[in-house]
Each structure stands twice: as structure tokens, then as C-alpha cells.
Amino acid sequence: MKWRWAASCWPTSNAVQPASREGQAPFYEPGLDDLLAKHTAAGNLRFTCSYAEAADFADVHVLAVGTPALPGSGGYDLAQLHAAVRRLAPGLNDGALIIGKSTVPVGASEALRTVLHRYSRPGADVRLVWSPEFLRGSCAVEGTLRPDRIVLGVAAGDTTSQAVFRAVHAQILDTGCPLLVTDPPTAELAKGAANAFLATKISFINAMAELCEAAGADVHQLVAVLGHDDRIGRRGMSPGLGFGGGCLPKDLHGFIARAEELGLGRAVSILREADAINLRRRERLVYLARELCGGGLSGRRIGVWSASFKPGTDDIRDSPALAVADALHRAAAEVTVHDPMAVGNARTAFPHLHYTGDPTDAATGAELLLHLTEWPEYREIDPAELHRRIATPTVIDGRGTLAVERWRSAGWTYRALGSP
């Protein structure tokens, strides 16, 4: 059986061309370029912008189309997804299977199934199942090859689709990866529910950070205490500036929007508060920066580490770090931003900020240094050496990952969200 991983670039082909021509992705993801180069050179992977060619080539199609937020509502915009199915359907071979991977609101696959059957060839046996991806930026290759679970949402009694799906994923399933077979609505809910829980867990500990700051307690010590309870767990409970990116905030808003459409707005009120807590962390960091600058930000020189929403990626979508940097700029501060990978994207989106390719340059002559994304490179910088370059040795550790005693012993005033 032939298998094609279909990553639609609807409505343009801009993302396909660089990968097709050079074996490189148009974004940074560790390990991805090596895989692209290896398999394009071997002829095992090729790219096309033709739906007809893709439909004729394969019996299995993986649909990984973006579902951006609808402006104003927070819901999912499924236009690209519907367009991809509509254009793929007429050329599908009899017996073809579409595996949906996109993050969608519950009920979306049933509507897509209607589109698929409306535009497919008369009498063609074509099927659609849903298998949400749970990938995380900066470790997506590992998450694809060695996932912690695979979810398959399939109609009751559809053993044919199950068999094809298992055959496609046989190499991964043979390693012991669990396959959880559900009905389609449960599979659609799985990704949004997972991200909603993660967002709530992060916002919970950041709410505790607010209490710690007011009470003189240390949220990082509190995390250590809570993490020993196996019902709670330490993983994912990282106090600091909060979450951002292209998935977690969007999926949180989309999950809330769909619940409200179903008349269950009260059931997700906790998620609205999780979102509010998350945004408050950015305001709190700006407030703390103003406090450490003597009550005013105008004309103050501030260095910012970094621009991406998390380490290991050049993704700046809803970056808490850039949101803080932009707020400081709007308060008339002079802001210089460094990032190991995302300076190019940041400069395009925020051209009014200053940028540098050297983290020490961001601190040189500054009156305040902000550590806002926990790239490992920043932990390796010698604070004693940096002390000689900064005008005022004061740092706000927005992620709580710098070695606090090392920085303080080097003469720095060290502050972290949720810590004394």
C-alpha cells in the first residue's frame, strides 16, 4: 500500500517550494531538516501543490491543514480544512482513507465527511477518521516517531479503516505505543481537552505565584512540595511568565468557544480564568520592570532574552517575551532583544524594537535585563562577566531557571515571578 503524508499549503504553495527545492523546512524545528534532506535525496519524499496528483498517488492521505482562530470569536476557522477536502475528494481512488490530524472543534469531522462524500466520485468508497496530533514545538520529530499515545476516532464497526490505520502506524505501534480507539467526537475533543488542562495547570501555579509574592513565599519551593504528590505531578507545572505560541492559547479559546456554542459556557468558566491569569503574568512582569527602574520606564535601556514563545523554536506567535518587550517599548523604554533563532521573525513582526545576535550585547549598557524564554544558552552565560557590561546589574528571571545564587553572588539584584 502506498502512503502519502499530505501537508496542505492551502491557499498558497509558499511553504512547499523551499522544502521541495532544498530539502529544508520554512521554519526551525530540531531534526526536521535532516529528515527532509535525507528522504528527499533518497526519493522517498516529494512535494506537490496539485491535489489531483496527491489524490491519484496514494491510498492514505494525512490531512494536516491549519485551523486558525476566527477573528473576534475565538472559534476555529475551518475554511482551509473544508477547501482541502473539497479539492482532494474528486480525485480519490476507491477505498481511499483520509486521516484528519488538524485541531478542530467537536463535530467537525462529521461535517467534513459530508463534504467528502458530496465531492467524491459517484459510488467511490472513501472514508475519513480522526487522529489528533499532540506534538509540541521544538520536539515534534521525537513526538512523531515516539509518541506517548496515538488516538484514533473511527465510526463504530468500521474495521476496514482501523486495519488500514494500524498498518500505516505498524512500526510505531510495534514499539508498544498505546493506540486508543474512540468514537470521532471523543477524538476531536482530545487535543483541545489536553491543551485546556495544560493551560489550566500552568495558570494554577502562576496564581499560586501571585499569592507567594504577596505573602513572601517562594513558588518554586511550593512546586517542589506539590510535585511529590503523584496525583499532581511536577511536569508541566512551571511558574513564570506563562504560556504562548500558536496552539495552547488558540486551542484554549477554541475549546471555550465551542462549549459556549453547545450552551455549556459555565462548564468552561475555569478556562476563562486560566486565560486571564496567563495574560496577567505579562502585566505583572512589566509592573515589576517599572518598579525596578525606579517607577518609570521612559528612556530606560532594557535588554530582553528572548523573542520566541518557548526555547528550541523560531515561533513567535503570541510570544509572552515579545508581548512584554512591546509593552516596554510603548512605555518609551529603549528595548534590545536577543534570541538564538527567532530574531528574523521578530524583526518582521515588531520592526520598531532593536535586535542583536549576541546576548551580551543586549545587556551592554542596560539598566535592566529580562530573561523571558528559557533557552539553555542563557544559563551558560557567566553573570560575573556580564556584570562588567551592564549599567545596572539587575535581572528579572521570568522563567525561574537561572541559577539564582550564582547571579546574586556575582553582584546582581535578582528577581523572579513568585519568589522573594
pLDDT at 149: 97
Mean pLDDT of 29-41: 90
Order across the sheet with 3-4: list the strands. Answer: 3-4, 60-63, 97-100, 127-130, 150-153, 179-182
Domains of the chain from N-terminus onward: 3-182 (3.40.50.720), 184-420 (3.40.50.720)
Q: Mind listing the pLDDT tens digit for each residue in 347-362?
A: 999 999 999 999 999 9
Confidence (pTM)? 0.90
Q: Report yes or no: 324 and 304 within 8 Å, Cβ to Cβ.
A: yes
Label residue 12 by pLDDT band (50, 70, 90). very low
pLDDT higher than 60, residue 9: no
Provide the pairing of β-strand 354-356 with 334-338.
Answer: parallel
Q: Mind listing the pLDDT tens digit for each residue in 36-73?
A: 999 888 888 888 889 999 898 889 999 999 999 998 88
Q: Report yes or no: 308 and 341 within 8 Å, Cβ to Cβ.
A: yes
- Residue length of the chain: 420
**Exposure class string for 61-88: b at 16+ Cβ within 10 A, else e:** bbbbbbbebeeeebbbebebbbbbbebb
Nearest alpha carbon to residue 203 among 249, 138, 134, 264:
249
pLDDT at 22: 62
Helix/strand/coil for 396: strand
Hey, what's the torsion of the CAs at 259, 263, 266, 268, to 10 degrees? Answer: 0
pLDDT higher than 60, residue 17: no
Q: pLDDT > 90: what percent of the chain?
A: 86
* Residues taking part in catalysis: 247
Rounded CA gap, 320 and 369, in Å? 16
Which helix (H) or strand (E) segment is 47 a member of?
A: none
